[in-house]
Amino acid sequence: SQLCQQYGIEFIETEESYTSKASFLDGDYLPKYGEKPKDWKPSGRRTKRGLYRTAMNWYVNADCNGAANIIRKVSRTLGISLDRLGRGVLTRPHRVFLWSANKKTAWSDVDSSSHETSLLESPVIYAGE
């Protein structure tokens, strides 16, 4: 949080229990840590590393599913709209090339239609700056 303050970034700590097990697209209930009902079961499951299958048999990126659930846990408190989070965002996440952030030539290699993004337009914060 100290580094966030230094660079003017708002830091909000949140509780993220069961966000990886629950299905965002199926709207699974997200209990808080220690408050899970005995009969709680997620509707979907991880099928292998990086892949999550929903109850509707949709395959989505497991990390994106967990991240969407974390956002869902804090959305009311922070006033975040979940309108743009849907199946397409979770099945075809943007690929970010961290290693090409400082190489302007890498931008020409990126096909914008393939959901790949370079960080050239984003500020990059390096340790020690």
Give the Cα separation of 68 and 90 in Å (integer): 8
Query: Are 52 and 20 contained in the same domain?
Result: yes
Query: Are 66 and 8 contained in the same domain?
Result: yes
Give the Cα separation of 17 and 31 in Å (integer): 7
Query: Are 75 and 106 contained in the same domain?
Result: no
Query: Are 104 and 74 contained in the same domain?
Result: no
Query: Are 129 and 77 contained in the same domain?
Result: no
pTM confidence score: 0.66
Query: Are 84 and 55 contained in the same domain?
Result: yes
Q: With cut-offs at 50, 70 and 90, classify the pLDDT of residue 10.
A: confident
Q: Mind listing the pLDDT tens digit for each residue in 55-108?
A: 999 998 899 899 889 989 988 888 888 887 777 777 777 776 666 655 554 444
Looking at the DSSP bridge assignments, the partners of residue 61 are 51
Query: Are 80 and 99 contained in the same domain?
Result: no
Count of structural domains, the chain: 2
Q: What is the pLDDT of residue 101?
A: 56
Token pair of 2, please? 């100290």
- Give the number of other Cβ atoms within 10 Å of residue 16's Cβ: 16
Domain membership of residue 103 as a residue range? 94-129
Query: Are 8 and 42 contained in the same domain?
Result: yes
Query: Are 47 and 25 contained in the same domain?
Result: yes
Residue type, 77: T
Query: Are 72 and 98 contained in the same domain?
Result: no
